[in-house]
Amino acid sequence: MKKVLLILSLSALLAGLWFFWPAPVVVSSPQPEPSIVADSPGSHVVAAKPDSQPQQINVTEKIPEPVTESFKLLASAYAAELELPAYSRPLSAADEHLLNPNRYIPQSVPLEGGASATIVLPKYRFSYPEEIPVTLEISDLQVFDVSVQLTSERGGDSVATAEMRGTPQRYSATLEAEQDWNGAFEVQVSFTANGTTQLLKTGFEYHNPVATIVGVEDSLGVGSDMQIPVKLEVKQAGFYRLRANLYTEQRQPLALLTATEKLGSGKQQITLRAYKTVLRNNIGPYILGSFVLEKRPAVPGEQTQYGDSEQAEYQLEPFVLSQLSDEPWQPDEQEQQRLQFLQQMAGQQ
């Protein structure tokens, strides 16, 4: 899926470039200069008439061969993408970033003499009232006076500080959050080593949930989709997008499911849909988890806000696949037009 997403991103870029691709140039031949004809002294001057229609020369830009080959690859990849709906994509063990969308990736910082230091967080995005555990891992270096400070990237103000304690290889501290924390924060860990003060930085996000997943109802079959109603408690009305991973009972990944709905406040519902093909003849039970619940910006410049879930995952009962139809997925008109454009640029039409 990573390769497909990268190819589609390149497709969008080349499609944008195509918008500015030079159109065929029309060159008009210059009109002849008027000539003067003198028959005899006192005769009048006659101007020669230009041709009734100026000649035109059509110059057509030819797409370079490497670009044509690129569009062939893009058209092939996009055609494969359109075989399944965007709301239900196959998922495999290789899709690490999708299987763990809230993963924090530690970055080791090299220090003098072959030493290194690493800030470690349990995840990237936190929800109120969760605490923030911060760990500093040290290799081949003796450090002193280890402390941590959090600053808001929005205002740059310090919001929390703590002394870090532990072993020579591992120091830790836990910071309590405030209810008004919202957005991006920076972690600053400082320590002294060999008479020099070192400062390491990393970032994370903290949000007061604008909505919470509170349960999942029984699945039902509609057409070729297994529909999964997800119940929510919404604090702020708006457009919401829910992404969740569907797994087998043995935790084998099946599909990434996505749904977008305009929700009011209070008790609401978003329905996820799993297209029959992505279920791979697996009748369940299933596990639904790895939730990412977003409130989309209503106006330019507004930040995305996040929700959470009462449970990390929910179990779904077995499902009778025979109730789903076998009708093939049909892309919409806009998707078909994109494919036609790519095929035209590839010289396939």
- pLDDT surpasses 90 at 169: yes
Whole-number pLDDT of residue 300: 87
Residue 152, Cβ density class (10 Å: 0-12 exposed, 13-18 middle, ≥19 buried): middle
> Which comes out higher in pLDDT, residue 204 or 42?
204
For residue 36, the 8-state DSSP code is: B
Tell me the average pLDDT across 33-46: 39
Report d(CA 213, CA 237) in Å as an integer.
14
Whole-number pLDDT of residue 128: 94
- pLDDT surpasses 80 at 49: no
Whole-number pLDDT of residue 41: 39
> Which comes out higher in pLDDT, residue 82 or 281?
281
Report d(CA 335, CA 78) in Å as an integer.
9
Whole-number pLDDT of residue 207: 95
pLDDT in tens, 78-126: 555 666 788 999 999 999 999 999 999 999 999 988 999 999 999 999 9
* Domains present along the chain, CATH in parentheses: 1-14+65-83 (no CATH), 115-207 (2.60.40.10), 211-323 (2.60.40)
> Which comes out higher in pLDDT, residue 24 or 296?
296
Q: Which amino acid is at 343?
A: Q
Do 307 and 294 contact (CB within 8 A), yes or no? yes
pTM over 0.85: no
- pLDDT surpasses 70 at 313: yes
- Given the structure tokens 């450090």, which residue do they identify? 143
- pLDDT surpasses 60 at 9: no
Rounding to the nearest 10 degrees, give the CA dihedral for residues 245, 249, 83, 332.
-50
- Phi, psi at residue 70, to the nearest 5°? -65, -40
